[in-house]
Amino acid sequence: MNNTLKYKGFFASVVFSDEDNILFGKIEGIDDLVMFEGSSVTELKNMFKEAVDDYIEICKQTNKPLLKSFKGSFNIRVKPEIHQKAAMLATIQGISLNQLVQKAIVKEIQLANE
């Protein structure tokens, strides 16, 4: 099950609140907190599109970048055995561990876009 929405290059995570009997979402990958809700899937999708359109307009008016900027570096935590196997594989392939991880991430992104 995929609990995300996509519109104009923006993504949102979606959650159902059993307590409130409502769907709500949050636009991901931006520097601001933009949330929306709906009592049906159709309403939620419409509210998401409205939230994105409003956010784009506000960013244009304030000359603010639309998406969060990323440095290109991050820490990951894996089991020591996986770390060891990945380091050995990188050595065998004649590349750095960073290059091996980058290749794996690119491969996953390509699979997700098929």
Q: Which two tokens stand for residue 45?
A: 């999708």
Q: What is the pLDDT of residue 112?
A: 87
The C-alpha angle with vertex 34 and arms to 30 and 36, in degrees rounded to 5, equals 140
pLDDT in tens, 68-113: 988 889 899 999 999 999 999 999 999 999 999 999 999 999 998 8
pLDDT in tens, 1-42: 579 999 999 999 999 999 999 999 999 999 999 999 999 999
The pTM (predicted TM-score) of the whole model is 0.73
Q: What is the pLDDT of residue 70?
A: 87
10 — alpha (psi -120 to 50), left (phi > 0) or beta? beta
Q: What is the pLDDT of residue 2?
A: 74
